[in-house]
Amino acid sequence: MAIQRHLLSILFALIVLCEVAVADPQHEDLLTYIVHASTNQKPPVFSSTAHWYAASIASVTGLPLHLSLARHGPLYTYQTVFHGFSAKLTPAQSSSLLLRPGFVLAVQDKVLQLHTTHTPVFLHLTPSDGVLPSSGYGHDVIVGVIDTGIWPERPSFNDGRFDEVPSRWKGECEEGTDFNSSFCNKKFIGARYFYKGYEAAKGPMDESAESKSPRDTEGHGTHTSSTAVGDFVANVSLFGYASGDARGMAMDARLAVYKVCWEPGCYDSDILAAFDSAVADGVDIISLSVGGDIVPLYKDSIALGSYGAMEQGVLVSCSAGNSGPSAGSVRNVAPWVLTVAASSIDRTFPAPIVLGDGSSYEGISLYGGMSFWEEGEQLPLVYAGDAALNGSESAYLCETDTLDPGLVQGKLVLCERGSNARVAKGYVVKAAGGMGMILANTFESGAELIADSHLIPAALVSFEDGVAIKKYISSYTSNATASMEFKGTKLGVTPAPTMAAFSSRGPNLLPPEILKPDITAPGLNILAAYTGKVGPTGLDGDDRLVDFSIMSGTSMSCPHVSGLAALLKAVYPGWSPAAIKSALMTTSSILDNTGESIKDLFDGEAADPFAYGAGHVNPTAALDPGLVYDLSVQDYVNFLCSLGYKDAYLQIFTKGKYECTNELFRARDLNYPSFALVFNKDEENVTVTRSVTNVGDANATYTVQVVAPAGMNITVEPEVLEFNEENSILNYKVKFQISLDAQLQSLAGIIRTASTEHAFGSLTWTDGVHKVRSPIAITYIQQNSYAATRSF
């Protein structure tokens, strides 16, 4: 028996060695992989995630557990920044691991350099010089974020480096469902939630679906908060995409959160209550990525709340809306609000698509799982509109129960954007047996490529490329094939920035003499902290919980500017909201990283001020703007009076503190850092006055430079401004006159007889160091159309 046991031991050892030789050949180099896991898929047989990770590694390597731990790891297990582990594996072993439930992505480890993911670098924010060190990274400025709340456990809101909370802070940390006051700290100093308007309209909240507290169960508020003021967090990514070191714009600023948005939306009464509390609590900046339909300003809760904030010296930064590229779609148009459009950065997530005829197209994707085919393998390709179930007319949109499994099974499916969510279309394809999805933009979305964390292999292509792929399918019918690959993260993309097609556009309809949006900032494919409640798609069934996620929208661009405004507030605590806003606007850029005019992703043409406002934010230049266009409360009151607001309408804003002082004041006379004028068929010329305050060198001489819009002559008096002391104020007049030049008569006639035409230019004051640039937008419009815009 002893001999038999000895022989069996030898045999067992030989079997193990053979398994090792097969599973882990010595000639194949081991690489370090970072493996992302969905921990709620951990099989209950394992006592902990660490046990699950170790056993899974041992299984794919074919080694006993103790040998696997010694040779392969885990090297680290990750429980805070993300869920998963790192281990030394062969490429085949890492692929095998991803076949197991709960493991969604394996990314090969590589050397990283310090940079965010990635907007501070793109905005040239450096720790050695410029606005970051000058402002102490926004030290002690308090930013209030009105949104969906916060997931406080994220490391972006840690307070290890922070001293005591400023004594001027009067706020609270309110408790509620799944939220204790102990979650607040020296960084995240206050949290409130407002729900009475919601419950009044919809009845008692379903607390099993959302937390009746400041806790963010949707992800939006956590994302915007960390973008504005999130602390430094090393080595973050979304399933390996956009790897880097995350930090907010003003990472030493304090954060106060005001939750007003719930599953049905954000109610005006709750928004106003949040404004009321935020101003009383002592915030310096308010960031609000919320909007609605165009209504008179006195009916607009954001306009009302932000006006009250402005009275107390609080700057309010708001999103412009996501209804582009339609003209007149911009929201949050009150002149005391800083309205932010959305543009791209120089980073993308390529997912190239190669058709069976060899043609290739640029796709984009954040797909974080495994592909069910070999790299470069051609798969059958079908257009969703040709795979309709029971003659469904909306099959091309890949809506629920519209695809015929018999025509989709085992194929890539080309779907079109529209109706249902982009990521939801993948669910439909998967349910019908599809292998993957190519998603084609609408005409309105143009070449704008929004990255999504799809649940099946999928990529988005431009409208033009989608048309080409459909043409290929129709030519090859049942023989159409395509391959799709996922190439990770690509930096240094040109041109950048470009205007997102979804970003809402001017002209401002209420009133058109105030140019909106004011400025643009990064809002396309932005990585920031996220909720721990739902997966990155937000869809039911997406159980991939992540610490950081990538989102797009003017909701993402707004907190960038909110954080940058906090930096300026730290440097210039005595500046008014209008002065900070002016500094950001007049120093912005209208050029991309190739030195050309910023392009519009809608049509590939040069964008204009109705898309980007004054231009793309340039925080380094904003630190030293030279001149600012300042405004007082009375100036805004005169603006309201110019709209016809009197008596009760005016009281809504002024609370009886101010009256109209200038009967002749018109909206175009507001001392705004931009010019927007409307010419009806009876007007030949208009003169406006502006005032500039010298915030640069005491002795400075500025000369004007004008780029006149088509069909317009512009004269400025005086053409030179000479300052001899700091903070001194000088006035100038600008005369806009329809050109009578013989070469422009026909152009002017065409413009003036059309129902609406627009032309753009600029006015810049320069002393050789500073360039204080204001955009000019001219609208030529018929009398009846113009009159319609005057109603309030």
Q: Which of 24, 140, 147, 284 is catalytic?
A: 147
Q: Which of 56, 96, 453, 555 is catalytic?
A: 555
Q: Is 220 a catalytic site residue?
A: yes
Tokens 């074919």 correspond to: 62
Give the SS3 label for residue 9. Answer: helix
CA distance to 38, 284, 353, per residue, from 430 (Å)? 20, 48, 19
Considering only CA atoms, which of 289, 146, 150 is closest in space to residue 217?
Answer: 150
Three-state SS sequence of 485-540: CCCCCEECCCCCCEECCCCCCCCCCCCCCCCCCCEEEECCCEEEECCCCCCCCCCC
Tell me the C-alpha distance between 140 and 131, whole Å.
Answer: 15
Phi first, then psi: give them for residue 670, nearest 5 degrees: -60, 140
The rounded Cα 194 to chain-centroid distance in angstroms is 24
Considering only CA atoms, which of 616, 615, 614, 596 is closest in space to residue 606?
Answer: 596
Tokens read off for 102 = 């709960």
Side-chain half-sphere exposure of 137, counting CA atoms within 13 A: 17
User: Using an 8 Å Cβ cutoff, are 326 and 505 in contact?
Assistant: yes
- Full DSSP string of 615-664: -B--HHHHTS-SEE----HHHHHHHHHHTT--HHHHHHHHTTS-----TT
Give the SS3 label for residue 705. Answer: strand
Tell me the C-alpha distance between 406 and 170, whole Å.
Answer: 64
Tell me the C-alpha distance between 230 and 563, whole Å.
Answer: 9
DSSP state of 179: B
Tell me the C-alpha distance between 572 and 57, whole Å.
Answer: 55
β-bridge pairing 675-679 and 771-781: parallel
- Full DSSP string of 328-363: T------TTEEEEEEE--SEE-B--EEETTS-EE--
Tell me the C-alpha distance between 402 and 302, whole Å.
Answer: 40
Which residue type does 384 have? Answer: A
Q: Which of 36, 118, 220, 454 is catalytic?
A: 220
User: Using an 8 Å Cβ cutoff, are 557 and 341 in contact?
Assistant: yes
- What are the catalytic residues? 147, 220, 555
